[in-house]
Amino acid sequence: MQTNTQTTEFTPTLVADIAPKIQSLKNTFSSGSTKALAWRIEQLQQIKKMVLEQQDNIFTAMQKDLGRCDMESWTAELGGVVSEVDHSIKHLKKWMKPRKVSTPIIAQPGKSYILPEPLGTILIIGAWNYPLLLVLSPLVAAVSAGNCALIKPSELSANMSKLVAKMVSLYLDNDAIDVVEGAVKETTELLKHQFDHIIYTGGEVVGKIVMRAAAEFLTPVTLELGGKSPCIVDSSTDLDVTAARIVWSKWMNAGQTCVAPDYVLVEKSFAPQLIDAIKNKIAEFYGADVVTSKDYGRIVSERHCSRIIKYLEDQNVVFGGTHDLANKYIEPTIVLDPSSDSPLMQEEIFGPILPIITMDNISQAIPYVNAREKPLALYLFSKNSSFEQQVLTSTSAGMVCINDGFMFAANPNLPFGGVGSSGTGAYHGKIGFDNFSHLKTVMKRSFWFDVPLRYPPFTSKKFKLLKKLI
Ligand code: NAD
């Protein structure tokens, strides 16, 4: 049986040590050492080496923090970091090159290009649900772009926080990459300092605190937030594959995934078939008695566990519903037609409860989604291509996957990020590189052929000619 009741003594970084750490990173950036391609490649290789060599320690920490099985930790976190590193190493030289653009006639003879340059020191504030990926994936992007970075892992995944600090000290260039461990007090101290970019992953409330603090220094932010991600299931879909993919994406990490389907929208007449198919897949994946499955995770803390259990009050539970607070266990649970104003439908669930909302016609799903905040992800299962187009063009979401769960996260060519209240900015692959770079405008003019047209004294003849050129 999985448990995550083993806790670790959490030792935050001393507040007095935070300012010197930041200053040291800034001094390193000023030295220019992180700009070299060789330094970037070496650090990326070291990140990969660190993850592979420390795999067993990482698995143990994940098990303690989230009751996660090793394969799920590999698929969702370690594998993601390794493929981000490989992708960056493969393309980095090209990303760093000046990007030539055309030059208008008014600026001829001349050349124009965009020169990516590192921003400086990046603050990476991570969340507990994917405690390795959410700090190392931004780190890959920050290092690829030639920056220094300060990582603040989440205190809720205390075992991983401790391990991240240890691994970074053992494997990476500590003059350029450092860790501050801590909770609210330490993060508040961090936010009093000037960084060149802050990437924050977590909830909306703290996202606003981060953005406010960043505004003091006009520091750009990337906010990787959450929200209620809808999953629209049209009756034309392949029922068996749809059920498997919904169960995989909803109950991975016991539902504690920012891009997990938060709720399902389905036609009334098709709902019983879909619910049966989902129940069967849960049994197939986790066994008849899920609590004994080694593949099903636990809730990160008692506070979060109580929060999720509370969502079940006065609801029509049609599957599951059992829980064990002491072991932070909640069974995969399906709730049918909760009211829109219940906390279950007002807040991001971020746990293993799947509400199924039925409607007379699936086209009603579009106004349902549009009446709410823009979600981080939107899922559509359908074989009807005109409905697919309708959903794509009539709704807004950070990311969309048609006929699967969050598989887009596995493609480094796609930006990962939200829109509106689900986040701002994005990373992964080249988009991450660009996010942590300043795309510097450069124009080089020739001294030859200096057209006097734009210089005073201005005449009506010059003005006429100029209007033709601009
Ligand atoms: P959390 O509790 O780990 O908090 C996130 C970070 O904020 C931590 O490092 C924490 O120390 C810091 N923090 C907490 N309170 C603070 C305060 N008052 N001032 C400054 N810093 C503070 O994580 P959480 O907020 O429970 O995360 C869950 C949310 O994150 C969900 O909404 C989920 O959807 C979202 N999320 C988004 C992504 C994404 O990539 N978009 C990924 C994972 C989680």
Ligand 1 midpoint to CA 115 (Å): 33
Ligand 1 midpoint to CA 428 (Å): 19
- Structural domain boundaries in the chain: 15-225+420-441, 230-411
Structure token pair of residue 140: 């890959």
SS (H, E, C) 17-79: HHHHHHHHHHHHHHHCHHHCHHHHHHHHHHHHHHHHHCHHHHHHHHHHHHCCCHHHHHHHHHH
Per-residue model confidence (pLDDT) at position 9: 73
Ligand 1 midpoint to CA 123 (Å): 14
Structure token pair of residue 378: 């939107």
3-state secondary structure (DSSP) of residue 461:
helix
For residues 266 and 362, the answer to whether their CB atoms sit within 8 Å is yes
Q: Residue 73 and residue 81: Cα distance in Å, rounded?
A: 11
pLDDT 10s digits, 202-237: 999 999 999 999 999 999 999 999 999 999 999 999
Q: Residue 66 and residue 384: Cα distance in Å, rounded?
A: 38
- φ/ψ (deg, to 5) at 306: -65, -40
Pairing of strands 437-445, 110-118: antiparallel
- φ/ψ (deg, to 5) at 141: -65, -40
Ligand 1 midpoint to CA 406 (Å): 20
The pLDDT profile of the chain, 470 residues, written as one tens digit per residue, is: 445 545 567 899 999 999 999 999 999 999 999 999 999 999 999 999 999 999 999 999 999 999 999 999 999 999 999 999 999 999 999 999 999 999 999 999 999 999 999 999 999 999 999 999 999 999 999 999 999 999 999 999 999 999 999 999 999 999 999 999 999 999 999 999 999 999 999 999 999 999 999 999 999 999 999 999 999 999 999 999 999 999 999 999 999 999 999 999 999 999 999 999 999 999 999 999 999 999 999 999 999 999 999 999 999 999 999 999 999 999 999 999 999 999 999 999 999 999 999 999 999 999 999 999 999 999 999 999 999 999 999 999 999 999 999 999 999 999 999 999 999 999 999 999 999 999 999 999 999 989 888 999 999 999 999 888 88
Query: Which of these is catalytic: 224, 331, 348, 388?
Result: 224
Torsion angle of C-alpha atoms 384, 386, 391, 394, degrees rounded to 10: -170
225, 257, 299, 373: which to mutate for ligand 1, most atoms within 8 A of CB? 225
Q: Residue 324 and residue 309: Cα distance in Å, rounded?
A: 10
Q: Residue 173 and residue 199: Cα distance in Å, rounded?
A: 20
With CA atoms as reference, report the closest residue to 300 among 161, 149, 414, 105: 161
Ligand 1 midpoint to CA 201 (Å): 5
154, 179, 221, 301: which to mutate for ligand 1, most atoms within 8 A of CB? 154
Structure token pair of residue 125: 């504030």
- Does the CA dihedral 354-130-34-212 come out positive or negative? positive
Query: Which of these is catalytic: 231, 258, 305, 401?
Result: 258
Per-residue model confidence (pLDDT) at position 1: 45
Domains 15-225+420-441 and 230-411 share a fold: no
For residues 433 and 146, the answer to whether their CB atoms sit within 8 Å is no
| Contacts (Cβ under 8 Å, ≥6 apart) of 68 | 2, 62, 253, 297
Q: Residue 431 and residue 307: Cα distance in Å, rounded?
A: 35
Ligand 1 midpoint to CA 26 (Å): 26
Q: Is 258 tagged catalytic?
A: yes
CATH 3.40.605.10 is right for the domain spanning 15-225+420-441 = yes
Ligand 1 midpoint to CA 206 (Å): 7
Q: Residue 301 and residue 326: Cα distance in Å, rounded?
A: 10
Structure token pair of residue 28: 């390193």
Pairing of strands 197-201, 121-125: parallel
> CA separation (Å) from 187 to 13, 20, 125, 179, 417?
10, 15, 8, 12, 22
Structure token pair of residue 195: 């960084």
Determine which residue's CA is closest to atom 39 belonging to ligand 1. 224
3-state secondary structure (DSSP) of residue 223:
strand
Query: From the alpha carbon of 191, which atom of ligand 1 is closest?
Result: 20
Sheet holding 263-267, edge to edge: 317-319, 333-336, 353-359, 263-267, 230-233, 377-381, 399-402
Burial class from Cβ neighbours inside 10 Å (0-12, 13-18, 19+) for residue 25 reads buried
Ligand 1, pocket residues at CB < 6 Å: 125-129, 134, 152, 154-156, 183-184, 187-188, 201-203, 206, 209, 224-226, 258, 348, 350, 376, 418, 423
Map tokens 């909306």 to a residue: 204
Per-residue model confidence (pLDDT) at position 7: 57
Q: Residue 324 and residue 402: Cα distance in Å, rounded?
A: 35
> CA separation (Å) from 195 to 23, 147, 178, 215, 425?
10, 11, 14, 11, 17
CATH 3.40.50.880 is right for the domain spanning 230-411 = no
Query: From the alpha carbon of 154, which atom of ligand 1 is closest?
Result: 9
Determine which residue's CA is closest to atom 30 belonging to ligand 1. 202
Per-residue model confidence (pLDDT) at position 241: 98
Rg (CA), the chain: 25
pLDDT 10s digits, 328-380: 999 999 999 999 999 999 999 999 999 999 999 999 999 999 999 999 999 99
